[in-house]
Structure 1
Amino acid sequence: MRSITLFMTFAWLCMHSLPNAMAADSITKAAPPIKTVADKACADLSPEETTRLALIQQMLAEGKPHAALAHLDAVKVKSERAELLRAHALRQTGRAPQAQVIYEQLASSCVSGHAYRGLGLIASQGGNLQEALRYLKAASNTLPTEHTIRNDYGYVLMQAGQNDPALHEFLTAVELAPDYRQAAHNLVLLLYKQGDIAKAEAFSRQFGLVEDEMQQLKKMTQASNKATP
């Protein structure tokens, strides 16, 4: 169910957000790359705190950000990891400005890579592709083997019309996590957009995509191509 939700969210973004995002990007001056901090180790938590945060993270994965916030208020764990979960929950409940404040505070902490990702997602949702690319590139540099970051970075690259780098990011994501359905969808979608039908269908078979998924990706390709100036 979660993968379907992510897929439909991506479909909506692709069909409705792409033109506005590209327009915003075209008038934004290029900014210097973000200097990432060296990887730090987070302070140890008690087994009980670790378990509670894992349960809250699972709530977020299941699409229950309001419940996650309630449990964060209840457990009162003081750590960067807890604050990161709070920022994720705030972003997912539509409170991006509050989430951004927390992400910025965490950008030099032991969870900096995930904080950069959060900032990149907020920038992307706001139509600022240049800022999103900067933050997601920083996130990828900090956590190069995190498949979700590779996928997000590839998606924004695709939005910006940088198809070859996007293809690299999607391929990296699916090789790092072969069962990561969202990256598989994005990879096939990009191949359809590029007109490489044979390769798109070959990857679809490799990932085990069903006919309904492939038809939806084709429709999304047509919709995004019509929307692109």
Structure 2
Amino acid sequence: MPPSRIHVPGLTTGLLVLGSLLGGCATAPQTPIAAEQQPVSCETDIQPEMQVHLDLVDTMIDRGKPYAALAQLESEPLATEDHWIRRGQLLAMTGRLSQAEHTFQQLVDQCHSGRSYHGLGMTLLKQTRLDDALPYLEKARDLAPASADVRNDYGYALLLSHRPYEAAIELRTALELNAGKGPVRQNLATAYMLTQNQAGLELLRDRYQFGVDEYAYARKLARQLGGQP
């Protein structure tokens, strides 16, 4: 509620001058705040103009321009969790893994969302810190059980941990959630090879048209994991 207007004799001119000065201050250009100095936001309500900005960032990512995407992202305030998730992802994509880890750790500590746990787990995995990554990816799976990406990444980490039977469950779930598309196909085939699940491989071939090239890739990964001659 605006303050009551109280007339005090002799102060009218001074108030007009003061109002003019304050008005001038209000229109002065503001110095942008660096991303590192902004507090992490857990806000999930995205305003339309924010979505337009995020869509532009995503377009740059899709076009293979992560450096430009990060610059574009940081040209506006990081007002929502979506902004911060993208910042962490883009820091990782541009090789700044320690900064990405710090960003996702802040998100985990403050937002406790599946996306934040997923981001931190994947950042740790990219640093070959598998044992550190697994608990975060498992927590992400618990918080976002219907996310195909989370299930696939957790399953892949389980493969790296030589836990192929557990990996197969996560990867089969991811395959069905993602309508049989994406890199999960090769990951699941690898899990089936490591567990000698011939029926599973036949299902991939017959129901999902699993191809020769995909089979070769999965076999190569299985060999790298020490499960195939």
Q: Same fold (TM over 0.5)?
A: yes
Bigger fraction of residues in helix: 1
* Alpha-carbon spacing, 1:220–1:45, altered in 2? closer, same or farther (3 Å): closer
Deviation of 1:43 after TM superposition, in Å, equals 4.3
Cα separation, 2, equivalents of 1:166 and 1:183: 11
Moved more, 153-162 or 187-196: 187-196
Question: Unpaired runs of 5+ in structure 1?
Answer: 1-40
Question: Is the counterpart of residue 139 in structure 1 residue 140 in structure 2?
Answer: yes
Q: Which residue number corresponds to residue 36 of structure 1?
A: none
Amino acid at match of 1:225: G
Q: Which residue number corresponds to residue 128 of structure 1?
A: 129
Q: TM-score, normalised by structure 1?
A: 0.73
Secondary structure of the corresponding residue to residue 57 of structure 2: helix
List per-residue Cα deviations over 1:126-173 (Å, max 9, x = no partner): 232221111001111111111101111111111111122111100111
| Paired positions, count | 189
Q: Which residue number corresponds to residue 42 of structure 1?
A: 43
Deviation of 1:227 after TM superposition, in Å, equals 9.7
* 8 A contact 2:114–2:139 mirrored in 1: yes
Cα separation, 1, equivalents of 2:222 and 2:200: 15
* RMSD between aligned residues: 2.5
Cα separation, 2, equivalents of 1:159 and 1:202: 23
* 8 A contact 2:130–2:157 mirrored in 1: yes
Amino acid at match of 2:68: A
Deviation of 1:223 after TM superposition, in Å, equals 3.4
* 8 A contact 2:124–2:130 mirrored in 1: yes
Deviation of 1:78 after TM superposition, in Å, equals 2.2
* Alignment of structure 1 residues 124-203 onto 2, 5 Å: 124-203=125-204
* Alignment of structure 1 residues 94-133 onto 2, 5 Å: 94-110=95-111, 112-133=113-134
Deviation of 1:193 after TM superposition, in Å, equals 2.2
Deviation of 1:69 after TM superposition, in Å, equals 0.3
* 8 A contact 1:192–1:221 mirrored in 2: yes
* Alpha-carbon spacing, 1:165–1:223, altered in 2? closer, same or farther (3 Å): closer
Deviation of 1:175 after TM superposition, in Å, equals 1.5
* Alpha-carbon spacing, 1:122–1:45, altered in 2? closer, same or farther (3 Å): closer
* 8 A contact 1:87–1:99 mirrored in 2: yes
* Alignment of structure 1 residues 5-44 onto 2, 5 Å: 42-44=43-45
Deviation of 1:112 after TM superposition, in Å, equals 2.3
Cα separation, 1, equivalents of 2:215 and 2:166: 23
* 8 A contact 2:44–2:82 mirrored in 1: no
Deviation of 1:62 after TM superposition, in Å, equals 4.8
* 8 A contact 1:100–1:122 mirrored in 2: yes
Cα separation, 2, equivalents of 1:219 and 1:127: 20
Q: Which residue number corresponds to residue 71 of structure 1?
A: 72
List per-residue Cα deviations over 1:67-122 (Å, max 9, x = no partner): 21021122334222111101100011111100111111111445721111111112
Question: Is the counterpart of residue 211 in structure 1 residue 212 in structure 2?
Answer: yes
Q: Which residue number corresponds to residue 5 of structure 2?
A: none
Question: Unpaired runs of 5+ in structure 2?
Answer: 1-41
Q: Which residue number corresponds to residue 52 of structure 1?
A: 53
* Alpha-carbon spacing, 1:183–1:139, altered in 2? closer, same or farther (3 Å): same
* Alpha-carbon spacing, 1:58–1:194, altered in 2? closer, same or farther (3 Å): farther
* 8 A contact 1:189–1:200 mirrored in 2: no
* 8 A contact 2:137–2:154 mirrored in 1: yes
Cα separation, 1, equivalents of 2:136 and 2:44: 25
Q: TM-score, normalised by structure 2?
A: 0.73
Amino acid at match of 2:162: G
Amino acid at match of 1:168: I
Structure with the bigger RCO (C-alpha within 8 Å, sep 6+) is 1
* 8 A contact 1:80–1:111 mirrored in 2: no
